[in-house]
Homo-oligomer: A and B are copies of this chain.
């Protein structure tokens, strides 16, 4: 096999792994991994996937051991390689939920710490040592930052004065009676690439195709197809109800008084739209699932 036609791609092991494999499958790339291996199989001979902790992917993309990788923006920053790699795409997905996480500075509810300045001389536990130190530097504050091997939330108050911890909804922090003082970094999943790899035209095109297909699969996650039959007389009125940016497909039917109208829209808007469409005379409304959308 010609090494030039092989893209070495880092995939995140652990909590993001299942959702990553699922979105690749919807994009048309089927990956499966035998237990304990870090070289999964993929049904595209042009890709060589490597399963690694999200924390370590930026490091190996930067050094060129990997051509590209999927990881969180947070770990790109923690590794200090923002300007040393290229971000090919932002991909909004996550283990569950919205796909957006925040690293926040949190303290016990009753703590006297109200802002960054109050951290002077305090101790902070975190998994992201560099992000935290950068934040302190920006605020010109000196504090003791220590690496936390886990269960960071329970340390605040008793073992350290503050923590810098990841959160999606804030509910776990609340359950531990912690108060968020500041958001230090917002992060989403990114497809990043090594700079040199991108100078190779084959690798560049391959990455763009992967990126297009992943985005198409992600878009389909949140959208559905909607079909309905509409009397020609009602068409204009109904067209106005539809999200303005989308151009529906209208096709002729046997019965000349009716047309079939088909549109792809956000699944979230359907539940509000259907009662209105029905009132406006639409008939035989059906909603169906999608695999991919390339606009």
Residues of B within 8 A of A291 (CB): 224, 286-289
Which residues of chain B are within 8 angstroms of A267 by Cβ–Cβ distance?
Answer: 28
Asked if A220 meets B287 with Cβ closer than 8 Å, knowing A28-B271, A43-B268, A267-B28, the reply is yes
Min CB distance A133 to B, Å, is 15
Is the beta-carbon distance between A229 and B252 smaller than 8 angstroms?
A: no
Among residues of B, the one whose C-beta sits closest to the C-beta of A294 is: B285
Say yes or no: A254-B250 contact (C-beta < 8 A), given A216-B274, A274-B212, A285-B293. Answer: yes
Binds B, one of A51-59, A101-109, A184-192: A51-59
Q: Does A295 contact B (CB under 8 A)?
A: yes
What distance in Å separates the Cβ of A200 from its nearest Cβ neighbour in chain B? 18
Among B53, B278, B288, contact of A212 (Cβ-Cβ < 8 Å): B278
Cβ contacts under 8 Å, A229 to chain B: 249
Q: Does A283 count as interface, using CB distance less than 8 angstroms? A: yes
**In the complex, per-residue mask of A27-50: 1 if CB is within 8 Å of any chain B CB, else 0:** 111000010111000011000001
- Chain A, interface residues (CB within 8 Å), range: 35 or more
Cβ-based interface call for A260 (8 A): yes
> Once the chains bind, are A149 and B56 in contact (CB under 8 Å)?
yes
Q: Are A213 and B271 in contact (CB under 8 A)?
A: yes
Query: A289: which B residues are within 8 A, CB to CB?
Result: 288-289, 291
Known: A53-B149, A229-B249, A249-B229. A286 touches B271 (CB 8 A): no
Task: Name A259's contact: one of B34, B212, B254, B283 (CB within 8 Å).
Answer: B254
Whether the pair B287, A290 counts as a contact (CB closer than 8 A) is: yes
Contact residue among B43, B150, B288 (Cβ-Cβ distance under 8 Å from A225): B288
Question: In the complex, what residue of chain B is closest to A54 when comparing beta carbons?
Answer: B149
Interfacial chain B residues near A288, Cβ < 8 Å: 225, 288-291
Contact of A81 with B by CB under 8 A: no
CA distance A275 to B225 in the complex (A): 21
The 7 A-B pairs at the shortest CB distance, nearest first, are namely A28-B271, A250-B254, A287-B292, A287-B291, A285-B294, A53-B149, A38-B154
